[in-house]
Amino acid sequence: MIAIGGSIGAGLFVGSGSALSTGGPAALLIGFAIIGVMIFNVVYALGELAVMFPISGGFYTYSSRFIDPSWGFAMGWNYVFQWAIVLPLEINVAGLTIGYWDPEQKINIAVWITVFLLVIIIINIFGVLGYAEEEFWVSILKLTTVVVFMIIALVLVCGGGSQPPFNEYYGARNWYNPGAFADGFPGLCAVFVTAAFSFSGTELVGLAAAESKTPQQSLPGAVKQVFWRITLFYILALFFVGLLVPYDDPDLIGNSSLLDVSTSPFVIAANRGGIPAFGDFVNVVILFSVISIGLSGVYGGSRTLTALAEQGYAPPIFKYVDRAGRPLFSTIAIIAFGPIAYIALASSAVTVFNWLLALSGLAALFTWGSICLAHIRFRRAWEYHGHTTDELPFQAAFGVYGSWVGFILVILVLIAQFYTAVKPLTAYDFFLSYLALFVVILFYIIGLVWKRQTWLRTANIDVDTGRREIDWEAYEQLKMEKQNWPAWKRVYHFLF
């Protein structure tokens, strides 16, 4: 349940409004589908690596081991930076969610930002158990909401609404008027960062399953859940959003000068369909969702920071873990980024939202590209040292070719971002699109000075140290059992 619902948050419920406004319904689907293909291959690549080489706390170790120690340093700090930025973004949206019920702002948004920051701090006091329990129930709530929304959307599109325009067959009118694309190719390019931000955290699925006692059994199911998340809970939900909400709706982010949760396309669709109560319910879900992703930011960022310290890539104070297993100082460091959300009080909330989203989304792309490249380099070194793929207990679905597809897609998306940054060329658009790149370059330079190591030669890549001990007898027995399963069970296992 956590695997499917874990990363559904502000990106899907709120940020998709900005993507719809700038790209249109067709660009929205294409952009999310491309990022979906990318992340699907990323999770498989990560799964293969994690089954072979169990790690604690961060994907950056694969970059250090198979690509370049200095690049691994950069990716470790980039991942901490990515999650640290997610925290104030989600707190900001959580505070703005309350504005849906308090349009006159009788209670200052700073009060709500403070309340939600305290909630995140309190839940983190309970460590992993508190985080897991909260994630489980919020995931159920989010998935239920998306399913209910799709059912309601289908009824409205077919003309089952109580008021115009959904009291008659509506179909795909929005795809013709105002149209499928808002701004052609530039609009499509603008969707990518929102999609990348929306899928941020999906890579945690492969890592969590790989850290289980029987990863070769748990990982395939976890990856299949990623597939269903992409196809059902993102693509299908956004397909209905595009049918119900035209990209030129004045309430969407991008068409509105103010950011509030009424700009969520899910809320707009409910209100246009004459179901205002569902809009209230969606806002409650958004509230829980963004807090949930904020907690994921603290959890993922703090564990990575602790792992960096254990590898000598961060100050040793961050190695401290208390008796309850909580990385105390690392958690405090990530939570310290939370007050950035207060910046929304001094400037346009839309501007703050867009900057934080762009920083986090682009940072995620560097993480995913590095995972794919690490897998490519691992396979090359694995073959160089005389091993075969038969010795791998879990193999990526499309092998090294899938990682090449994922890596090339990352490069193409970065090029697309450069295109949007320079056409037309303005300082604001350029730095909005590419500030995260300069952050990564800075981290790499620091890592280069610190580690004084660069690109690893294939002959120097170690593929033996730290390999997981696999119970091959149990593994082969499981394969034999699967061959004797009835057809329906094999089909079910193939899908789920």
Rg (CA), the chain: 23
Rounded to whole angstroms, the Cα distance separating 75 from 81 reads 9
Q: Which residue has tokens 């308090």?
A: 102
**DSSP letter string over 308-346?**
HHHTTSS-GGGG---TTS--HHHHHHHHTTGGGGGGGGT
Measured over all CA atoms, what is the biggest interatomic distance in the chain, rounded to whole angstroms?
69
Give the type of residue at 27: A
Rounded to whole angstroms, the Cα distance separating 14 from 89 reads 11
Q: Which residues contact 178 (CB under 8 A, 6 or more apart)?
A: 24, 246, 247, 248
From the number of C-beta atoms within 10 Å of its C-beta (0-12, 13-18, 19+), residue 137 rates as middle
Report whether 43 contacts 228 (CB < 8 A).
no
Per-run averaged pLDDT (10 residues), the chain, 496 residues? 62 83 92 90 87 73 90 90 84 78 80 88 75 77 86 90 84 89 86 82 66 64 72 86 90 58 79 80 82 82 86 88 83 89 69 71 86 95 89 85 95 84 71 80 89 84 80 71 78 69
Q: Which residues contact 191 (CB under 8 A, 6 or more apart)?
A: 19, 22, 23, 27, 28, 30, 31, 32
Cis bond upstream, residue 178 (ω within 30): yes
What residues are paired with 422 via a beta bridge?
A: 425
What residues are paired with 253 via a beta bridge?
A: 256
Tokens describing residue 410: 């990352």
Give the type of residue at 271: N
- Domain 2-495: CATH superfamily, name plus number: Amino acid/polyamine transporter I (1.20.1740.10)
pLDDT of residue 452: 78
Report whether 95 contacts 341 (CB < 8 A).
yes
Three-class secondary structure of residue 253 per DSSP: strand
Give the type of residue at 93: V
pLDDT of residue 256: 47
Report whether 365 contacts 359 (CB < 8 A).
no
The per-residue pLDDT for range 203-250, each reduced to its tens digit, is 776 556 555 666 666 666 777 777 777 777 788 999 999 999 999 888
pLDDT of residue 371: 93
Tokens describing residue 452: 């004084």
In this structure, how many other beta carbons lie within 10 angstroms of the beta carbon of residue 41? 25
Rounded to whole angstroms, the Cα distance separating 217 from 394 reads 9
Rounded to whole angstroms, the Cα distance separating 294 from 202 reads 14
Compute the CA torsion angle 118, 120, 121, 124 (nearest 10 deg).
160
Q: How many CA atoms lie within 13 A of 381 on its CB side?
A: 20
DSSP letter for 256, please: B
Task: Give the burial string for 309-328 (b: 16+ CB within 10 Å, else e).
Answer: bbbebbeeebbeeeeeebbb
Tokens describing residue 208: 């969590």
The model's pTM is 0.86
